[in-house]
Chains A and B, each alone.
Chain A
Amino acid sequence: MKKFLLALMLCPTLMAAPARANPFETRLSNGLRIIVKEDHRAPTAVNMVWYQAGAMDEQEGVSGVAHVLEHMMFKGTKKIGPGEFSRRVAAAGGNDNAFTTADYTAYFEQVPKARLAEMMAMEADRMAHLELTEKEFSSEIKVVMEERRWRTEDQPQSKVYEGLMATAFEAHPYHRPVIGWMGDLENMTYQDARDWYRTWYAPNNATVVVVGDVDHKVVFRLAEKEFGAIPARALPRRRPRTEPVQEGIRRISVKAPARLPYLMMAWKAPKLQDVHKDRDPYALEVLSGILDGHEAARLGRHLVREQRIAQSAGAGYDGTLRGEALFILDGQPAQGHTIAELEAALRAEIKRIQDEGVSAEELARVKVQTIAGQVYKRDSMMAQAMEIGGAEMNGLGWRSLDTLLEKVRSVTADEVQAVARKYFSDDTLTVAVLDPQPVDANAPPRPAPVHHH
């Protein structure tokens, strides 16, 4: 199969519709998928390796291990010592980093194009030969705990989000923060990280995405040379861990030093599963755009500028993910207004769409923004690589990207009104609020209390 595919790629006369062929895709016999988007505007390239292993794949008690392993991936192999990976990327005139989400872990190097081969070789090396030692782990886990303090412990709104997710999801692993609970980090060992690496870091669980001033045929050959010998491995069964239907409103509050309260409201919502047949996820996407997709959108206009109830207000919906979806509204009440008033005002915005629908003009605006956004995205190689990799990880695939856009553009006003009526019941709502506390310099730091109700 592999040989056949490669022959096809190397023979331009056999390639169908070259104009629509970009990006190009192939798959090695070990299951590694390679996607190349040629962009010849500048003599650079971005190399990404995506692993379909994120915080949602973790077991109880080792929350955060996906992200800890991401840190450990910079700690060396037999060939490349600790810290050497980044040093070599820097020597190539490039920069590198990585990120972990609930759904996946991804690594990238942005380099002058002539250095791409070297980057691919280094990624292949650490896909198969990471040296994970107790010594390096014991130092790096402290860094991760500092990262948690910085991102979450001292960030009141992050704590509210953490509490919201832990409350909205009881059975589904989105319950846990990607960075991990502090207690789990404190008790993690280097074997936990090694187990994670051995379980998930296999070519058949990875996708290489390259965008840049490259020839896809050359990249395919490089990929075969560098990654081709890494054996595929059986992956563990992924249990669905479905969230039971929520049967009643849930409310929590989080106390932290702050001045302004903060409110998040999250409703359970469907995610996109069948790109062609589903309708509701596209309509929810448009609804989110009408509420908060641009400068003239409803929440900013009505709540911040006209009624002046909110200091800030926003809406968000992501239906393209591995796990389960939420439709989230959030905001800070303006001076002199309460969380209760803001909650009522946000509910009134949903109610208004339930009762009155949306205008053709608003619908058109969201679509114009979507189209312009796609053109602007082409200015950034990284943004293009992110889009392709993300689509591969959530299971929809990069080939669905054009369809997603068409579908969003096909959404009608009636459909927007219908999803506003269908998915905003209190029974599936979780509300999390920040209860601001005076900044008492002499009070000992609190260990992040989150109250479940």
Chain B
Amino acid sequence: MKRIHCLLVLLAGLLALPAQAAPAIQHWVTPEGVRVYFIENHDLPILDLEIDFAAGGAYAPATKAGLAGLTNGLLDGGIEGLDEEQIAGRLVDLGARLGAAVDADRASLSLRTLSSATERDGALDLMQRILTHPVFPEAIVEREKARAIAALQEADTRPDAIGSKRFMAALYPGHPYGVTPTVDTVARITRDDLIAFHQRYYAARRAVVSLIGDVSRGEAEALVRRLTAGLPAGVADAGLPPVSLPDAATIRIPHPAAQSHIWIGMPALKRGDPDSYALQVGNYTLGGGGFVSRLMKEVREKRGYAYSVYSGFSARREMGPFQIGLQTKREQSADALKVVDGVLSGFLHDGPTPAELEAAKRNLADSLALRTDSNAKLLGYLAVIGFYGLPLDYLDTYPARIRAVTADEVRAAFARHVEASHLVTVIVAGDAR
């Protein structure tokens, strides 16, 4: 009876998969060298837009770590003719939401606005001035440095922050990916540093604009021209230094927390690596597939060792980290770690079973519809496709690429990207008492 039921479910699943074409991505390059990615969608009267620069944390000197984030965060600290309060007030009056974000590779400004011309144009013009002519007022720079330092000092008391910092430093010795801001590096940053960083890195040739929403192609072209008018041409991104792999190590950091925080991982994956499909499929079974992964089953479901346990690859321009993470009552951290090590080495050795492979492929392929069912989610994909130069048909071909992965490919890809001789383990608050 159960089998028949499963067969029916399977059939329903197959029938339920019309070739749901991903929305068409339009792409062009402005005369100044800005790459543009656009999806036209008139369902809602809104426009979402993001501009990304190769200006993330990895582009700042190690002695001034935090410079990329401060520069990005202070763009709206003042422009000619408007102070920070006037900028904030004007955006609020327009009903617009301006976001700023920095990761290792990218620095971004994003805007969500109503698509009606007055609101849209008003918000965009303001964003343009913020982007191209920030003043970085001295007093505001000093205030935000002080806030950043206070936040860093607070973070230095937290087991999760202490551990993740140490983890990245251990994975990337001597590489910008291993550098995180400290009280000293932030204290060293001056207003002149911000001006110079902005001048050099917020440039047309380093920029990618992604937009989705209620505008025509013609309107989109005009909007992008207006937004990027005034950006210096600059120099195209020369890339980041290659990553060298660390030796395997275990690092223990004492802390009085009730739970141990544990990380295991190594540098593993570049954006655009052809292995990324096989790694995604494999990782789903290992620890990416939420409640159905092996780590979740063995650590949480069977033994009650943790509330959260996961694994994942964060692809970056250069090799981004593979990491496993969990938190567990400190008295049982050695036992939990043993289980995690066992799951990982078992998976590296055997790869997924046929049933696991099938489940992973089906979920990853079929859930694309869910991962692209809003403008906000699509904007995220657009920005990654654009910034990392992934093919324009990335979303269209994704399900087929996933479905084509074999168990042998998963094993081989994991063997190439996750090696025991390079795995670093960091344990905060791990000693039993």
Contacts and interface: CB of A to CB of B under 8 A. Distances in A.
Contact of A87 (B17, B46, B146, B359): B359
A236 B428 CA distance: 47
Contact of A139 (B150, B301, B375): B301
Nearest to B300: A143
Interface in B88-108: 88-89, 91-98
A301 B98 CA distance: 17
B370 A111 contact: yes
Contacts of B147: 304, 311, 334
Contacts of A296: 85, 88-89, 91-92
A381 B376 CA distance: 12
Contacts of B290: 86, 90, 95
B24 interface: no
> What secondary structure prevails in chain A residues at the interface with B?
mixed
Given A111-B370, A308-B143, A335-B146, A90 B292 contact: yes
Nearest to A83: B301
B238 interface: no
Interface in B279-298: 289-292, 297
Interface string A252-265: 00000111100000
A279 interface: no
A87 B98 CA distance: 39
Interface residues of A, number: 72
A94 interface: yes
Interface stretch (A24-32, A55-63, A437-445): A437-445
Interface string B249-279: 0000011111100000000000000000000
B16 A114 contact: yes
A91 B366 CA distance: 8
B369 A44 contact: yes
Given A112-B370, A259-B153, A146 B307 contact: yes
Contact residues on B (Cβ < 8 Å of other chain), bracket: 35 or more
A90 B304 contact: no
Contact of B330 (A92, A436, A439, A445): A445
B3 interface: no
B44 interface: yes
A379 B374 contact: yes
Interface in A373-387: 375-376, 378-381
Interface stretch (A196-204, A363-371, A392-400): A363-371
A120 to B, nearest CB: 13
Nearest to B259: A149
A409 to B, nearest CB: 13
B45 A375 contact: yes
B233 to A, nearest CB: 31
A302 B149 CA distance: 20
B193 interface: no
Nearest to B368: A93
Contact of A42 (B12, B96, B328, B372): B372
A372 interface: yes
A87 B363 CA distance: 10
Interface string B292-316: 1000010011111111100000000
B256 A86 contact: no
A115 interface: yes
Contact of A335 (B94, B149, B292, B375): B149
B112 interface: yes
B327 A257 contact: no
Nearest to A368: B95
Nearest to A382: B374
14 contacts: A42-B374, A90-B291, A91-B9, A92-B366, A93-B365, A118-B9, A142-B304, A144-B307, A146-B327, A149-B259, A154-B258, A304-B147, A379-B374, A445-B257
Given A301-B85, A441-B254, 6 more contacts: A83-B297, A93-B362, A112-B369, A154-B159, A296-B91, A365-B92
Cβ-closest 6 pairs across A and B: A93-B366, A142-B304, A114-B16, A372-B95, A441-B254, A42-B373
